[in-house]
Amino acid sequence: MMTESALISLEQKQTGAWQDVQGVFTDIDDTLTTDGAITPDALDALSALKAAGLHVVAITGRPVGWSEPFAQAWPVDAIVAENGSVAMVEHRTLYQEDAATRAAKFSRLQEVATCVLREVPGAVLASDSAGRETDIAVDHSEFSHLNESQIAQVVAVMRREGLNASVSSIHVNGWIGDHNKWQGACWITRTLFGRELQDETDRWVYVGDSTNDQLMFERLPHSVGVANIRRFEAELQHKPRYITQGERGAGFAEVARALLKDKGL
């Protein structure tokens, strides 16, 4: 668990520290992507990790509908979407809850979305909202801009109405239930690989860029923030162990190179 004020440069990582790592979890927006698209170096890094026999799982606040084509095209084992509640595994969609439960929660989420839009001046739903099944998202930096006070208002309304809320680099997400990035990571590790993530936290690297990655930073000792996480550094209660020199996709590629080097590949 890292709560110190200083972030250690990835270049200062002890050589060989990741030699026993078996997989990588990664955020998507502003971690794999730059200006909304995955960069060639990040895509090549994913391919290199998979070719080396490592597990690769993306975990995102993006909706399942948005994630589906990338789960089919990218060299990943799965994309866990909507902050842990649903996963795309090639052409399969896996849910943590049954259809009736999801439908009831969906109705409540739309009610809360209406409250947010009514009470927070300037708030708009994220452009990918049509693909969301288990959460709502308010845009703060992707196509619309909210200042820190407005973002805090959105979070406050969501929580007042009984939702969990987190802030990514582009959206404020709200949902009902106990799932989150960490719980979703544990679920998909158990579901796909038959293993308990909490028993092997030192066998995984996590890469992220924002405050909604803190649960993963807290629980995985081999955690890395790409350089653009500096934007949120003052707000992080739980910080990554390391920070890359490169931002976004270039930073992810830097992590992949360090991991493959430690494994002698």
Q: For 125-138, what is the HEC assignment? A: ECCCHHHCCCEEEE
Rounded CA gap, 53 and 233, in Å? Answer: 33
- What's the whole-model pTM score? 0.92
Task: Tell whether 13 and 110 lie within a shared domain.
Answer: no
Q: Which helix (H) or strand (E) is 207 found in, with range?
A: strand 204-208
Residue 32 included in any domain: yes
Task: Tell whether 103 and 90 lie within a shared domain.
Answer: no
Residue 28 included in any domain: yes
Residue recorded with tokens 């406050």: 156
151: Cα separation from own chain's centroid: 19
Q: Which amino acid is at 24?
A: V
Q: Which amino acid is at 211?
A: T
Ranges of the chain whose pLDDT falls below 50: 1-4
Task: Tell whether 92 and 183 lie within a shared domain.
Answer: yes
State the pLDDT at residue 125. Answer: 98
State the pLDDT at residue 1. Answer: 40
User: How many alpha carbons fall within 13 Å on the CB side of residue 81?
Assistant: 29
The closest of 247, 255, 164, 264 to 212, measured between CA atoms, is 164
199: Cα separation from own chain's centroid: 21
State the pLDDT at residue 152. Answer: 98
Task: Tell whether 189 and 61 lie within a shared domain.
Answer: yes
Which pair of tokens denotes residue 235? 């707000």
Which domain covers residue 168, as residue numbers?
Answer: 99-175
State the pLDDT at residue 5. Answer: 53
Pairing relationship of beta strands 8-9 and 242-243 according to DSSP bridges: parallel
Q: Based on the structure, what is the number of domains in the chain?
A: 2
Task: Tell whether 88 and 103 lie within a shared domain.
Answer: no
State the pLDDT at residue 47. Answer: 98
The closest of 226, 245, 214, 217 to 31, measured between CA atoms, is 226
